[in-house]
Amino acid sequence: MTQKKVYIFCCFLFFTFVCGNLFAQQQEKYSPYAENGDSLIILSDVLVYPPIQFGNEKEIMAYNRMVRDVKKTLPYAKMIYATLIETCEYIDRLPNSKAKEAHIKRVEKELFEQYKPALKKMSLTQGKLLIRLVDRECNQTSYEIAKALLGPLRAGFWNFFAGMFGASLKTSWDPDGKDAEAERIVRLVS
């Protein structure tokens, strides 16, 4: 009888700890505040999209390619934004223009060495999407960013180079037009 009591007691302790943890209140992400005696919590907007109606197999494949391309290029666009912010903040602290130019050249060289192999593996469609996603993330076209950091001559060179492949660094993000489907995918992915 004693073994049975010990067994029941151990089971009771086990279920008490497990169930207690299961039903414990989670820490709130949003802090409520009181207004006119009521507790209010402000939540962010939630976008609800209607289901996509595909007409045929070709449209499904095109949509799946777009999802694949967005998933591949969006992290690079976010990385570009983070690098741009970090570089601009650091450049603002430098005392003279020679130090700023040296830092920009060093960052450019490091980025080329690190990301050139991955970017070379991107398709032309993914490259064009990346240019537009950079505009979405940074609120500036790739040409404007290159012009600010590298100067108008080198920015023009890179825009000409992109133009040889049918792309343009001056392309902007159009979430209500041609990039509506990609905008939807970006919001669902991130």
Predicted pLDDT of residue 94: 83
Place of tokens 């398709």: 123
pLDDT digits (tens, 9 = 90+) for 78-131: 999 998 888 888 888 888 888 888 888 888 888 889 888 988 899 999 999 999
Closest of 113, 107, 168 to residue 142, by C-alpha: 168
Q: What is the DSSP letter of 40?
A: E
Alpha-carbon span 181 to 129, nearest angstrom: 12
Place of tokens 């820490």: 27
The residues with which 35 forms a beta bridge, in sequence order, are: 38
pTM: 0.73
Classify 132 as helix, strand or coil. helix
Alpha-carbon span 31 to 165, nearest angstrom: 51
Name the band, by pLDDT with cuts 50, 70 and 90, for residue 151.
Answer: confident
Alpha-carbon span 136 to 176, nearest angstrom: 12
pLDDT digits (tens, 9 = 90+) for 26-64: 555 556 666 777 777 777 777 788 888 889 999 999 999
